[in-house]
Structure 1
Amino acid sequence: MEELLIITNYYPPEKGAAANRMEQLALKLKQNNYSVSVVCPLGNYPEGKLFTAYKGKFSIKENLKGIKVKRLWIYPSVSKNILIRVFSILSFSIGLFFYLLFKKTPHKVVVQSPPLLLSFISVFVLSLKKKKIIVNVSDLWPLAAIELNAMKEDSFSHKFSLFMERYIYKKASVLLGQSNEIIEHIHSIFPEKKCFLYRNFPIQNNSLIEPNEEGQPIKIFYAGLLGVAQGVLELSQKIDWKANNIEFHIYGDGAEKQDINKLILSGKLQNVFFHGMVNREALHEKIKTYDVALVPLKTRIFGSVPSKIFEYSNLGFPILYFGGGEGESLVAENNLGWVAKVGNYSEINSAINLISKLTKSELFEMKKEVLETSKKEFDLDKQMKFLLSENVF
């Protein structure tokens, strides 16, 4: 059985798309007869505090679903202070540098990028050891940072990030891109680089519940990070959910959590319900009777395709997409639901109004169509079979 190592900044029991994506990759490779190990930080995301099981530990070994996991120390933080955030990434990256330098590692290694510093250090050491480096690019950094106004163009941090980005692409044996835009960007720098599209398709989970609540409010939900980039707080305020007889259910954690909760408790947000953070399995159970999934981004980010599109369509949910870019094209071209131009609240209110006029039975028929499309177009086994046939791993 061939060995393969995955290096990632996020891994379950941490929450979020990044952790789910890397676990999914590990499990699928294991299913295809690889002996998979993972190196990651002690669990802390998204709270920015070490989980109880990892407090007081410098490092720990685990076996999760047959995957060998090595967790290294990190100074966890979700602070808005850039220096504290950099120190947090450095704390893990330095430990990882020595771990990779002195520990025996498999010949094939998957490196998750971003964070850029983490992937840069990993690629640097692995290239010295002449490993096969498979870089999985899920977002274009620093380009996304510029678009989100998190970094100033032509600043020192921007120039250094560009250097790291190009180094990573240059030294990678092969690159995986989560979107066609990511591959287009990489080829604009290194035209001959070997790149493959790798979508974050979910493991099949196909079950629908027949509606028995005709006449009840339509339920739209959002689940995920409650950060500035998602803009859930503003969405909650700029849509009249009650007038449309629609309930908006929010699951997650992040910077906007407290403000959302305060507005709900004050009565300023009607028909909006906040449920906090729940794990993925519990979430899938709780949303079974809901009708539509909301996938928003406040700013169109080049290269970004939210993995929620694939996860929710696989669960049979029509999608209300409000984020622009390649994700918008995917939803529209595959008839997965409704799209509204990013930042256009008039358009999303119009879409909400259209949804409000549908019956539960009509929404259930949409669910069945979305599920069938997902089975046909978003098949993880078919995708993995292709990548293996191309000797990516």
Structure 2
Amino acid sequence: MGKNVLIITSYFPPEIGAASNRIFQLADGLQKHHFNITVLTPLPNYPTGQIFDGFKGKFKHVSEEKNITINRLWIFASNSKNKLLRLIAMLSYSFSLIWFFMWNNIPKTVIVQSPPLLVAFTCVFFLKSKKRNLILNVSDLWPIAGLELGAFKNNFSYRVLEKIERYNYKNSSLILGQSEEILTHVCSMFPKKKTFLYRNFPAFNPPEIKKTTSNGKLRIVYAGLLGIAQGIYKLCKELDYSRIEFHIYGSGAEQKIIEGFISQNPDLPIFFYGRVTRDELHKLLMEYGITVIPLLNRIYGSVPSKIFEYAHLGLPMLYFGGGEGERVVEENNLGWIARPGDYKDLNRVISRIEVGEISEERKKGIQQTAIRTFNFGSQLDELKKLL
């Protein structure tokens, strides 16, 4: 009999995105190592803010997928910019969690995804016990990240969120942090807190590197969320297109304004393809020269999981976000660095990249570095010892 583990998250497939992929890989990896995994998650609604077809009108949905028991709970779904509606959405899921806790046996090992802070607080408050191994998986530092993104102001509400953050850390048995900056932040509050660096390494078989064709232009691709933090609309406006093409995959808040910019500037070599599945995207990305990983503002504690995923594809990257992610790209020779927020420097770096530099050998070198250094299996083996 394997050990029972409950994973509580706000994002899970069929939802898309880094958070969903990360938690699924954790659940799937532990299940394959003979843990009995149960997942608690809302009815799927991200990023549309609408309950997905097949789940509408349901209070809950229970399924068995890849030997993982998935309990999908009711949520008042919303992706509104209205803070009150977003708060109601988080609280609705919190109430569903409380109801579940009341009527079900909770195992001794529980992994809670944070953020959202309020959801994590609900779990920590109701499940903390000396007999329980309560593990907080921190992927972003809220509320600090919200302040840096302009989502919060440094007022009374922000200070309440800071207290919630401290409470969550204090009452967790173990903190998993996806960056060294996150762990440093946690230890600055609680120096004796047990922590573990748990990067967002991918868990797929690296594909064979194939030679790509070129029309003489540098084909740059961006794939992912088209949100405010990524700043793809501004990137479209600021890039020098004299020797490049820019290809975009994804969806999000900026999609319409990006599509509008492309239609108003038909002479610019910008191509938008919308959202595709992860497996399909991996095949498509192999055809490009380099990928750009931008952040409109440097976010403390954030290391985009794209770095590790694209490295496994052997895709050279142009990193434009600063912080710890920049150091990971630089130290592992994964591509090029441009100063965050400096579009002149970005275009200068691009102008110095020769199409011939992006050889099959270079891509294979990046992929071998990823296989050796960003190894999901090795990381999971270390994590298992703590469960």
Trace 1:159-308 onto structure 2 (pairs within 5 A).
159-241=159-241, 243-244=242-243, 246-267=244-265, 270-308=268-306
Trace 1:125-136 onto structure 2 (pairs within 5 A).
125-127=126-128, 130-136=131-137
1:365 is aligned to 361
Deviation at residue 285 of structure 1 after TM alignment:
2.0
The CA distance in 1 between the partners of 2:14 and 2:370, in whole Å, is 26
Deviation at residue 217 of structure 1 after TM alignment:
3.1
1:338 is aligned to 336
Deviation at residue 267 of structure 1 after TM alignment:
2.3
Aligned residues: 386
Give the secondary structure class of the aligned counterpart of 1:192.
Answer: coil
The CA distance in 2 between the partners of 1:58 and 1:13, in whole Å, is 18
Deviation at residue 265 of structure 1 after TM alignment:
1.7
1:94 is aligned to 95
Trace 1:47-126 onto structure 2 (pairs within 5 A).
47-126=48-127
Does residue 377 in structure 1 map to residue 373 in structure 2? yes
Trace 1:144-155 onto structure 2 (pairs within 5 A).
144-153=145-154, 155=155
The CA distance in 2 between the partners of 1:312 and 1:54, in whole Å, is 32
Confirm or deny: 8 A CA contact 1:208 1:316 kept in the other structure: no
* 310-319 vs 197-206, which moves further: 197-206
Confirm or deny: 8 A CA contact 1:43 1:50 kept in the other structure: yes
Deviation at residue 268 of structure 1 after TM alignment:
5.3
Confirm or deny: 8 A CA contact 1:148 1:299 kept in the other structure: yes
Give the secondary structure class of the aligned counterpart of 2:99.
Answer: helix
- How large is the RMSD of aligned CA atoms in angstroms? 1.4
1:386 is aligned to 382
Confirm or deny: 8 A CA contact 2:289 2:358 kept in the other structure: no
Confirm or deny: 8 A CA contact 1:43 1:51 kept in the other structure: yes
Confirm or deny: 8 A CA contact 2:216 2:355 kept in the other structure: no
Confirm or deny: 8 A CA contact 2:209 2:363 kept in the other structure: no
Give the secondary structure class of the aligned counterpart of 1:53.
Answer: coil
Give the secondary structure class of the aligned counterpart of 1:52.
Answer: coil
1:353 is aligned to 351
The structure-2 alpha-carbon separation of the partners of 1:212 and 1:107, relative to structure 1 and needing over 3 Å to count, comes to: closer
Deviations along 1:223-251, one digit per CA (max 9) or x if unpaired, are 1111111001101110022x11x221111
The CA distance in 2 between the partners of 1:219 and 1:62, in whole Å, is 42
Confirm or deny: 8 A CA contact 2:219 2:289 kept in the other structure: yes
Confirm or deny: 8 A CA contact 1:222 1:293 kept in the other structure: yes
1:328 is aligned to 326
The structure-2 alpha-carbon separation of the partners of 1:46 and 1:129, relative to structure 1 and needing over 3 Å to count, comes to: farther
TM-score with structure 1 setting the length: 0.95
The CA distance in 2 between the partners of 1:251 and 1:334, in whole Å, is 26
The CA distance in 1 between the partners of 2:177 and 2:107, in whole Å, is 23
Deviations along 1:280-321, one digit per CA (max 9) or x if unpaired, are 112112222112121111111110000000000011111110
Deviation at residue 156 of structure 1 after TM alignment:
2.1
Give the secondary structure class of the aligned counterpart of 1:56.
Answer: coil
1:11 is aligned to 12
* 55-64 vs 121-130, which moves further: 121-130
The structure-2 alpha-carbon separation of the partners of 1:366 and 1:304, relative to structure 1 and needing over 3 Å to count, comes to: same
Give the secondary structure class of the aligned counterpart of 2:128.
Answer: helix
The CA distance in 2 between the partners of 1:362 and 1:338, in whole Å, is 12
The CA distance in 1 between the partners of 2:379 and 2:317, in whole Å, is 23
The CA distance in 2 between the partners of 1:63 and 1:306, in whole Å, is 30
Deviation at residue 180 of structure 1 after TM alignment:
0.4
Q: Which letter does structure 1 place at the counterpart of 2:276?
A: V
The structure-2 alpha-carbon separation of the partners of 1:210 and 1:72, relative to structure 1 and needing over 3 Å to count, comes to: same
The CA distance in 2 between the partners of 1:259 and 1:99, in whole Å, is 41
Give the secondary structure class of the aligned counterpart of 2:112.
Answer: strand
Deviations along 1:182-239, one digit per CA (max 9) or x if unpaired, are 0000000000000010001011422234325244433211111111110011011100
The CA distance in 2 between the partners of 1:260 and 1:220, in whole Å, is 16
The CA distance in 2 between the partners of 1:372 and 1:128, in whole Å, is 43
Give the secondary structure class of the aligned counterpart of 1:54.
Answer: coil
Deviation at residue 392 of structure 1 after TM alignment:
1.6
Give the secondary structure class of the aligned counterpart of 1:110.
Answer: strand
Q: Which letter does structure 1 place at the counterpart of 2:273?
A: H
The CA distance in 2 between the partners of 1:126 and 1:328, in whole Å, is 37
Deviation at residue 129 of structure 1 after TM alignment:
8.4
* 230-239 vs 196-205, which moves further: 196-205
Deviations along 1:129-178, one digit per CA (max 9) or x if unpaired, are 8421010000110011111111111x121111011101110110111000
Deviations along 1:304-354, one digit per CA (max 9) or x if unpaired, are 000000000011111110110000000001100001111010111012112
The structure-2 alpha-carbon separation of the partners of 1:208 and 1:337, relative to structure 1 and needing over 3 Å to count, comes to: same
Deviation at residue 386 of structure 1 after TM alignment:
1.8
The CA distance in 2 between the partners of 1:122 and 1:203, in whole Å, is 27
Structure 1 unmatched runs, 5+: none
The structure-2 alpha-carbon separation of the partners of 1:120 and 1:171, relative to structure 1 and needing over 3 Å to count, comes to: same
The structure-2 alpha-carbon separation of the partners of 1:215 and 1:205, relative to structure 1 and needing over 3 Å to count, comes to: same
Confirm or deny: 8 A CA contact 2:203 2:376 kept in the other structure: yes
Confirm or deny: 8 A CA contact 1:263 1:269 kept in the other structure: no
